[in-house]
């Protein structure tokens, strides 16, 4: 039955792809199955002739259902793996998904929490507030009167995701084997990224922990409000959190009616992003109207409200510092420092010529800086720099791609709210302040104070260790130990070469001995007129030569 369902699901996917003529607009689709016979049977989707390939793909994913909508949303975050027009189209995917029955939501909540719902909540509304591809949200109240919302995973979502992932892996495997540019498309890597992100999003306990950390980072600030997570009523399949009210981010008329200061709101969006990335190293990476509200409090100094925490971004500390210095160098138009940082960070091979890379960076940035900075998109400049870096063997850093995508979203949001906003003027002082706080002299002093107790604890051992090191050095007891696959292979080849040389010498010697014995007609037993000793020596020499024959070392 499972296999039959998988076949039916695969056929439905193929039918939708063909109806939207994705086999024509996306060449990789042609390498999955021959579509000609299906194209002859199925009519083209209405209006698809005038659509771009990205729009066709977006419509197809929406038709295939909520899981594929989520796939598209995840894919839109990986601009390094997709053409720009396709990534732009996928960013428009919205979570307007038909809700599942409230009675099923009630049953799922009771199963997760192990008690009747009316023992847990004073009231529970089976009509959802919102329905998305992975979960839906229901309003409720607690026995103490507090208003909350309950986010619950869709029934059967784990099985559905597993089935669709298995099909995607199979399709990716076929494309990887048959497509001539599979190394550039990287279908297996695309599916692996989708699987990793979906696995994280299906664990609501992890999402609640993300929300809790974000709330702690901004506790006491009206700039960003994060609802409280109610842990006794939260499990891997449900989250219960404080209910918050605000104006949807894209409802510009309602924002104007509330008297919201658009310029200040746009500036705050930029400052929040840079502060989350470089101060907290924990940033909201899924900024869209369904996830963000605007607080009605203090409309002249408005704040944001975050609702969804499934996709959050972090950076390794080293990458965070190098990225901060990259932005600082970009603000100062210091192209050589940008080139140096890319190599120092290990994002690019050390063999790259620094002056070549500096020239390429200058070629990207200078055209932008001829325009007023208020018209320049920092995210667009960063994206162009990544494109140039690809030509110089940039090592893809998924966390940087997620950050770049979020930066583009934030800039788009800010410019929508206030088109005249000078992003550079807002971002530069924020970054300068954070750099001074995190990497200045005071930060170095704090680091020393933090590590000082450990240094003091280990200090009594230092004289003994120094003495032991010097004793071993004088006695010649130091031994350099290195492990490397390349070195081990070299040692293996060297040893084999020595063995082959020895066998070749032995073989030559035995052949010479056999020749001498034969020429001198040595006494002793003979076979077919050949002295037996000469024959044995000749066979031994032949064996040694064959054993010395070069063989490939695996």
Q: How far from 498 is each of 126, 484, 503, 544, CA to CA, in Å?
A: 80, 21, 9, 13
pLDDT band (50, 70, 90) for residue 554 = very low
Q: Please indicate whether residue 106 or residue 483 has the higher confidence score (pLDDT).
A: 106
Q: How far from 85 is each of 355, 370, 404, 414, 460, CA to CA, in Å?
A: 32, 26, 16, 22, 63
Q: Which helix (H) or strand (E) holds 490?
A: helix 485-519
- Strand, helix or coil for residue 147: strand
- Cβ partners under 8 Å of residue 78, min gap 6: 87, 190, 193, 398, 401
Place of tokens 């909201």: 284
Q: Please indicate whether residue 106 or residue 357 has the higher confidence score (pLDDT).
A: 106
- By the 8 A CB rule, do 312 and 282 touch? yes
CA dist 329 and 513 (Å) reads 76
- Strand, helix or coil for residue 294: strand
Our CA angle for 215, 219, 252, nearest 5°, is: 75
Please say if 334 is a catalytic residue.
no
User: Is this model's pTM higher than 0.85 or not?
Assistant: no
The pLDDT of residue 380: 76
How many Cα atoms sit within 13 Å of 409 on the Cβ side?
A: 24
Token reading at 170? 């199979």
Per-residue model confidence as pLDDT tens digits over 438-453 = 877 776 677 667 776 7
Residues pairing with 3 in the sheet: none
C-alpha 456: how far from its chain's center? 40
Token reading at 297? 């409090």
Q: Please indicate whether residue 133 or residue 549 has the higher confidence score (pLDDT).
A: 133
Mean pLDDT of 352-367: 87
Our CA angle for 420, 423, 429, nearest 5°, is: 130
Return the CATH fold of 95-164+197-244: Phosphorylase Kinase; domain 1 (3.30.200)
Per-residue model confidence as pLDDT tens digits over 128-140 = 998 888 899 999 9
The pLDDT of residue 5: 64
- By the 8 A CB rule, do 384 and 407 touch? no
- Strand, helix or coil for residue 304: strand
- Strand, helix or coil for residue 278: helix
Place of tokens 């600030």: 221
C-alpha 446: how far from its chain's center? 32
CA dist 532 and 520 (Å) reads 13
pLDDT band (50, 70, 90) for residue 1 = very low
Per-residue model confidence as pLDDT tens digits over 290-334 = 789 999 999 999 999 999 998 888 888 888 888 888 888 888 889
Which of the listed ranges 168-177, 337-346, 391-400, 542-551 does the model predict with the highest average pLDDT? Answer: 337-346
- By the 8 A CB rule, do 278 and 320 touch? yes
Per-residue model confidence as pLDDT tens digits over 408-431 = 788 888 888 888 888 888 988 998
User: DSSP string covering 322-379, please?
Assistant: HHHHHHHHHHTT-HHHHHHHHHHTTSS-TTS-HHHHHHHHHHHHHHHHTS-GGG--HH
Q: Which of 23, 80, 286, 319 is catalytic?
A: 286
């Amino acid at each position: 039955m499972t296999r039959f369902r998988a076949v039916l699901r695969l056929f439905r996917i193929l039918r939708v792809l063909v109806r939207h003529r994705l086999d024509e607009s996306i060449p990789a689709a042609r390498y999955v199955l021959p579509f000609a016979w299906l194209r002859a049977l199925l009519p083209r989707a209405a209006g698809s002739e005038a659509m771009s390939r990205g729009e066709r793909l977006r419509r197809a994913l929406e038709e295939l259902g909520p899981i594929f909508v989520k796939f598209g949303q995840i894919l839109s975050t990986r601009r390094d793996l997709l053409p720009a027009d396709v990534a732009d189209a996928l960013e428009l995917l919205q979570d307007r998904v038909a809700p599942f029955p409230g009675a099923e939501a009630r049953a799922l909540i009771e199963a997760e929490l192990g008690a009747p719902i009316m023992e847990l909540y004073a009231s529970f509304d089976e009509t959802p507030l919102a329905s998305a591809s992975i979960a839906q949200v229901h309003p409720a109240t607690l026995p103490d009167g507090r208003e909350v919302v309950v986010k619950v995973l869709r029934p059967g979502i784990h099985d559905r995701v597993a089935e669709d992932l298995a099909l995607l892996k199979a399709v990716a495997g076929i494309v990887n084997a048959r497509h001539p540019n599979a190394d550039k498309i990287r279908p297996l890597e695309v599916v692996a990224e989708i699987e990793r992100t979906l696995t994280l999003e299906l664990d609501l306990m992890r999402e609640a922990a993300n929300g809790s950390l974000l709330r702690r980072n901004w506790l006491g600030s009206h700039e960003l409000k994060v609802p409280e997570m109610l842990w006794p009523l939260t499990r891997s399949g449900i989250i219960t959190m404080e209910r918050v009210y605000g104006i949807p981010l894209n409802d510009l008329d309602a924002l104007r009616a509330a008297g919201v200061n658009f310029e200040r709101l746009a500036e705050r969006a930029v400052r929040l992003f840079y502060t989350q990335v470089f101060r907290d190293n924990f940033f909201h990476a899924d900024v869209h109207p369904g996830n963000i509200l605007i607080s009605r409090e203090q409309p002249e100094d408005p704040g944001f409200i975050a609702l969804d925490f499934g996709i959050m971004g972090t950076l390794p500390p080293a990458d965070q510092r190098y990225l901060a210095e990259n932005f600082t160098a970009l603000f100062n138009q210091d192209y050589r420092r940008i080139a140096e940082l890319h190599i120092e960070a290990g994002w690019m091979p050390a063999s790259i010529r620094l002056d070549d890379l500096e020239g390429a960076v200058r070629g990207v940035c200078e055209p932008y800086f001829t325009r007023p900075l208020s018209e320049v998109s920092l995210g667009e400049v960063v994206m162009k720099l990544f494109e140039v870096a690809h030509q110089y063997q940039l090592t893809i850093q998924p966390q940087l791609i997620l950050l770049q995508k979020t930066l583009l979203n934030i800039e788009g949001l800010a410019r929508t709210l206030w088109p005249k906003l000078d992003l550079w003027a807002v971002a530069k002082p924020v970054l300068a302040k954070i750099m001074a706080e995190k990497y200045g002299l005071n930060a170095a002093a704090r680091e020393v104070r933090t590590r000082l107790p450990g240094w003091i604890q280990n200090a009594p051992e230092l004289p003994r260790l120094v003495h032991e090191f010097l004793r071993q050095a004088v006695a010649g007891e130091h031994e350099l130990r290195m492990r490397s696959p390349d070195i081990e292979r070299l040692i293996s080849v060297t040893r084999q070469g020595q063995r082959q040389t020895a066998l070749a010498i032995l073989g030559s010697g035995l052949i010479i001995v056999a020749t001498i014995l034969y020429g001198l007609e040595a006494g002793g037993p003979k076979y077919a007129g050949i002295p037996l000793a000469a024959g044995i020596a000749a066979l031994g020499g032949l064996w040694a030569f064959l054993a010395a024959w070069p063989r490939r070392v695996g």
